[in-house]
Chain A
Amino acid sequence: MSGEIDIQKFADQIREKRGKRGLRVVAEEIGDVTASTLSRIENGNVPDLHTFIRICRWLGVSTDQFTITPSGSNTSQPEIVSLHLRADRTLDAKTAKALVNMVQLAVAAVEDGKLGKLKGKNRNAPGI
Chain B
Amino acid sequence: MRRGFKTWAENLAVEVRQASGLRAEASLSARILADHLGVTVIGVESIPGISNDITNHLLKVDTDSWSAVTIVHNDCTVIIHNTAHSTRRQESDLMHELAHVLCEHHPSQIVQSPNLPFALRSYDKIQEEEAGWLGGCLQLPRSALLWAIERGMSEAAIINHFGASSDLVRYRRRMTGVDVQVNRRTRFRN
- Quote the shortest CB–CB distance from B35 to chain A (angstroms): 7
Cβ A100 vs Cβ B117 within 8 A: yes
CA distance A56 to B135 in the complex (A): 35
With A6-B116, A86-B64 given, is the CB distance from A117 to B40 under 8 Å?
yes
Task: Give the docked Cα–Cα distance between A122 and B35 (Å).
Answer: 8
Contact in complex: B120, A46 (CB < 8 Å): yes
Query: Which residue of chain B has the shortest Cβ distance to A46 in the bound complex?
Result: B118
- Chain A residues with Cβ below 8 Å from B77 are 81, 116, 119
Q: Specify the main secondary structure of chain B where it touches its partner.
A: mixed
Q: How many residues on the B side are at the interface (Cβ–Cβ under 8 A)?
A: 67
A102 touches B44 (CB 8 A): yes
**A91 to B: closest C-beta gap in Å:** 6
- Chain A contributes a number of interface residues (CB within 8 A of B) equal to 65
- Complex contacts, A116 vs chain B, CB 8 Å: 40, 73-74, 76-78
Contact of B73 with A78 in the complex, beta carbons under 8 Å: yes
Say how far A124's CB is from chain B's closest CB, in angstroms.
7
Contacts of A92 in B (CB 8 A): 62, 65
CB-based contact B96/A84 at 8 Å: yes
Contacts of A52 in B (CB 8 A): 120
Q: Which residues of A contact B71 (CB under 8 A)?
A: 78-81, 103, 106-107, 110
21 pairs, CB–CB < 8 Å, chain A vs chain B: A1-B111, A49-B109, A49-B120, A52-B120, A80-B70, A80-B107, A80-B121, A84-B66, A94-B57, A95-B57, A100-B119, A102-B44, A103-B71, A106-B78, A114-B48, A116-B40, A117-B76, A119-B38, A119-B77, A125-B19, A126-B16
